Structure 1
Amino acid sequence: MKFLAPFLLLFASTFAYAQSESNNTIFPYHHQLKFSLFPLHDPMNSGFEFSYERQYNQRWATQLAFTILSNGLHEMFDTEKEYHGFKGQRISIEQKYFYPTRRQRSIRKYFAADLNWLEAHTIRTTYSETTPVNPVDRMNIDRTTVSLNFKYGYEIAVAKRFVLDLSAGPGLKYRKISNDKNYVGGWRSDSDVNKVYAPREEMAANFVISVKIGYMF
């Protein structure tokens, strides 16, 4: 919860000083429902992401997103079924500030702060050359990730009620990885396990790219 506190304060303060209406005739709607295109192709955190954005004056908007993590299309192309049972969720809150402009354009520039929380679980199974049918190694892997990113983006009106949302930016992430090392056969070497799947906590640099298509109403 300590990661959410700054954003909750920002969320409350912007509501307190927000103007109630927008006079933009190109983006006259205050609500957007969006679907993200990138998680479908994310090799690490694939899934289906849906978001809702509320613009409560000409400069400020808040977006909430929820992602259902799933192997989805990846399992169709994973012939060895090495990773399976992948599940989890990601919750995001993004505060946007639209860059002031004197002219009404079909493209709006914005700056945003984006906070994400992810919980994921997957199972890793491997097979030896002598026993290609039954798995000889099985491991449950759990990941928790909290990330904060600062992004620059565009909202582009592509039709009367449709919008394309493009953004990217750097940030930091905290990641915790754990596993149970529950081997069926145990042929995998310890060095391989410790290098790739060792339990650890770490801070790392992060960079995100987002592409969303939305419906305004």
Structure 2
Amino acid sequence: MQPKFFQFIVITFICLSYQIASAQNNSIGHPNQIFISPLRIIDLANPGIEIGYQRAYGKNLATAVSIARMIDLVIAHLPDDPRNISNYKGWRLQAEQKYFLPTFNTNRPYLAVDAMYLKVNYDSNSTFATDTAKNAPTYSDNFHIDKSNFSVNAKIGIQIPVKHFIFDFVAGIGLKHRLAIRSGLENPNAYENTPVDVNIWTETNKAGNEFTLSLPINIRVAYEF
């Protein structure tokens, strides 16, 4: 496990423990939730299996943490998987602070901020040319990708209770730092033939060290108690 990832886990759970220790009577409903994120399984860019825990405290506040094992259970088995990757694996960790807006409805709208860390690695291949000339010879080359993302987001969401179950819909915007390193290339300086139209798979597999826009969207299913 990477040192930064380990530090992020420790800090997250220290903060969560503090919030639980100082919790007051909860007026949101049942104070505890265990949730899963079904959309994570079919995420086209970063699929995985996610489980999380939320603790409500005070009148309007709740803290949630989640961890996901990044593994490709669905997309890689589709007949026409366009991503051209294999051996995908890694981890994802997220901490989220929620503020529930006052409402007379049984639904629970909220504002939230979160921090997310992702660390994955996988194999891929692409088509390269020795130079940028129109008729330059091309060849296929395999490479390995180590990728990490860190993002901070502001979000808006709503929790819809159905007895002890909660359906949580959330979307937001934020800033993401993306670091992707390729290794094992025959010629790291070769020109890569990429599609003219930008697509999610080309952007996901490219090497880079950059800040980009983050647009998180998720649906969670929780059991509260």
**RMSD in angstroms over aligned alpha carbons?**
3.4
What is the identity, as a one-letter code, of the residue corresponding to 2:107?
I
Q: Please say which of residues 89-98 and 136-145 is displaced more in the overlay.
A: 136-145
* CA shift in 2, pair 1:54/1:182, >3 Å: same
What is the DSSP-based 3-state SS (H/G/I as helix, E as strand, rest coil) of the residue aligned with 1:38?
helix
Match of residue 20, structure 1, among 24, 42, 50:
24
Aligned partners of 1:113 and 1:148 also within 8 Å: yes
Counterpart mapping for 1:53-132 below 5 A: 53-78=54-79, 82-101=84-103, 103=104, 105-125=105-125
Instruction: In structure 2, give the amino acid aligned to 1:123.
Output: D
Structure 1 letter corresponding to 2:53: Y
Distance apart, 1:153 and its partner CA: 0.5
- Partner residue in 2 for 1:132: none
Contact 2:126 2:192 in 1 (8 A): no
The offset of 1:71, in angstroms, is 1.3
Distance 2:45 2:223 in 1: 28
Residue 193 of structure 1: CA displacement?
Answer: 6.9
Taking a change above 3 Å as real, the CA distance of residues 194 and 23 of structure 1, as seen in their structure-2 partners, is closer
Q: For 1:193 and 1:46, locate their aligned partners in 2 and report how far apart those are by CA, in whole Å.
A: 26
Unaligned runs of 5+ residues in structure 2 are: 128-139, 196-201
Cα-to-partner distance string for 1:108-159 (whole Å, 9 max, x where unaligned):
11110010000010101469xxxxxxxx63210111100011000101102x
TM-score, normalized by length of structure 1? 0.79
Q: Residues 42 and 73 from structure 1, CA distance in 2 versus in 1: closer, same or farther, beyond 3 angstroms?
A: same
Counterpart selection for 2:214 from 194, 201, 206:
206
Closer, same or farther: CA 23–200 of 1 in aligned 2, 3 Å: closer
What CA deviation, in whole Å up to 9, does each residue of 1:10-50 have, x standing for no partner?
A: x47x83996521245xx2x1110101021122111011111
Aligned to 1:151: 155
Structure 2 equivalent of residue 174 of structure 1 = 177
1:145 counterpart SS class: strand
Secondary structure class of the residue paired with 2:73: coil
CA distance in 2, matches of 1:111, 1:57: 15
Equivalent pair of 1:18/1:57 in contact (CA under 8 Å): no
* 8 A Cα contact 1:156 1:164, kept in partner: yes
Alpha-carbon spacing, 1:182–1:192, altered in 2? closer, same or farther (3 Å): closer
